[in-house]
Amino acid sequence: MRRVTGGLLGRAKRQFIDDITSDPYLLYILVLAAVMAGFWFWHRIPNFATRDERWRINNPMVAVGFFIDEPGIDSLLQGIAWGRAYGATLYLYGIAIIPVFVVAFFLGQLDAFTAIPGNQSISLWTHWYQMPKWIWTWSLLLSRLTNVVCAVGCVYVLYRIGTTMRDRMTGRLSAILLSLTWGFLISAHEVGEDIPALFFLLLVVYCGLRYAHTGDKAIYLAGCASGGIAIAFKLTAGASVLLLGIAYLLYVRNAGTAWREALIRPRLITVGIVVGAALIVIGYPSVFAPGLDRLLDRMQRGLVNKSQSYGWRVEPSWWWILRGYLHGLGGALFVAGCCSVVVSLPRLRERTQESDAIVLSIVGIGAYLSVYAGWSYVRTHHLLPTFPLLILLLAAVLTRFYNRNRSLASPLIVVLLLSSSVYAGVGVLGYATQPRNEATEWLRADASSNATVETYLMDPQEAAVPHGMRINHPNYRETPVDGKTIRMSSPEWVLAMPHRCPTYIELTFPRALQYLAPDDRNARTTVLSDPRLTDYYRNLLAGDRYPYTVAATFGPRPSFLDGKSEDSRLPELVRVGVVPWTIQYGDPQDMGIDQYTVILKRTGSCPPQDDTD
């Protein structure tokens, strides 16, 4: 096995060197991918871009914290079991932040990891604040850079697939278009499992395409290994199994020998299953702590939760899928991709490497869409694995068209590249001007050292607060009233604001400002329907009951605050295909409108009011 692995890695290295030296454009394409995926990659630091990003960084920290507190295998396993170590991201980002652990050791700050034994036992705010700022900063920087490297790797592997499928022009077009795909760049900017899983999924497609024409057993086993690792990163990469099965059958069709000899390879199939399954199990570190139950539980919850309504917006699955494609690809690239699928269908009858690649791409896209059709809502990053497959089909169609009629194909390719460049470019530039970042910098510059900001968010990831600033938040439910400290429920705590009288109050959408949304708005939920809180937030903004005035606002203002109705389905779908900074995920982790922030500043004293009744 070691000899096979070393041989494959040697072949991959030689192939990469050959591609770089033979194709004068490849290096520039990879640089483009690195620039687009890495532009302003430090956004939101030392805060998190998404909730998932926090857990992916936190998982190895918790495990190391347990180990430092009581060195030994048992404590390490306990730390893994305590955290949310769902898959191979613990390995990847644990390795990425090794320098942080080393520096903390030399600075004598390892207690920063042991002081927070488990994120479930404390508030998210406390968890964020107790960790030194430099640890969050460098952990996020190193982990995001690791993700950017994986993104560039995805671009190169897609180049290899396109080149193997047809020629280098197909490979170049595929790589360039993926580098300009906004949905791909979103995931590249955030620590997570999507980009690493996509990298290994594309390796599965590449190995499957190679095996379909060569029958090389080592290549097939490499595909099984890549599929196992992909699934260890993300369960939906289970499409790898189907892709390898199709590749196996394609070789039977293409083989010059008797079909029985190509079909009946029991040893190859057995070894492939063992390799893939072993890497899936090894890839879930929590399996070594509580056992296989954690992996099975994760799979079950993934299946059950996706079929249930998320709650804040109810739409049919086709609407979520269409919206995700328009947002992730942009209108022009999405339309071109759909057309390429239709144009590619007649070529399925051929027995060429191009037709094999078309089969693998269409099967892969169909597999994912058939799964998502049963989900109650689909985010853009769920569709990510289908983006490069759709782009591959489009690149092959454009190359064929270019070879037949350059005068017509050239302007079409230019228009497609320009429109994709503008859409993705505007999206990437938005990372440098995020409303939450701007609000954070405003507070850092305006607030005095003893100032306090009050926010009504449970999660610091959704807030715009400098790390280390004094803060009131819903996790602290104890408020001094008439010389006594009383514990309150969350609504009562919010309404008791005059007793705390903070320097600043931060209102955000979603959450606080969502109470002011009309009852028929899709995002409205029963959780956000307390009339007392609705009056409280309305009076705060009006400035006629509390001694606060609006000092600054950041981000696009929700239309309902001005009494305007929301876009209906069709205008919204058109908008997401034209404007990249709309909703990225399909839930409150979004940027765009969901980063609207209002900062109110105290202008006088706060006489206590009877607001807790």
The model's pLDDT over 219-256, given as tens digits with 9 standing for 90+, comes to 999 999 999 999 999 989 999 999 999 999 999 988 76
Q: Greater confidence, 278 or 121?
A: 278
What are 601's strand-pairing partners? 504, 549
Instruction: At 453, give phi and psi (nearest 5°).
Output: -115, 135
What are 478's strand-pairing partners? 487
pLDDT at residue 123, as a whole number: 79
d(CA 83, CA 368): 29
The model's pLDDT over 186-230, given as tens digits with 9 standing for 90+, comes to 999 999 999 999 999 999 999 999 999 999 999 999 999 999 999
Bond prior to 510 in cis (omega within 30° of 0): yes
Cβ-Cβ contacts under 8 Å for 31 (sequence gap 6 or more)? none
pTM given for the model:
0.92
22-26, 294-298, 445-449, 594-598, range with the lowest pLDDT: 294-298
Distance of CA 182 to the CA centre of its chain: 12
- Per DSSP (E only), the strands in 61-189 are none
d(CA 142, CA 101): 12
What does the pLDDT average to over 116-136? 77
Name the nearest CA neighbour of 316 among 380, 372, 370, 371: 372
Cβ-Cβ contacts under 8 Å for 498 (sequence gap 6 or more)? 546, 606, 607, 608, 609, 611
The model's pLDDT over 494-520, given as tens digits with 9 standing for 90+, comes to 999 998 999 999 998 777 888 887 765
Q: Which 3 state secondary structure label does DSSP give 598?
A: strand
Cβ-Cβ contacts under 8 Å for 121 (sequence gap 6 or more)? none
Q: What is the mean pLDDT of the chain?
A: 87
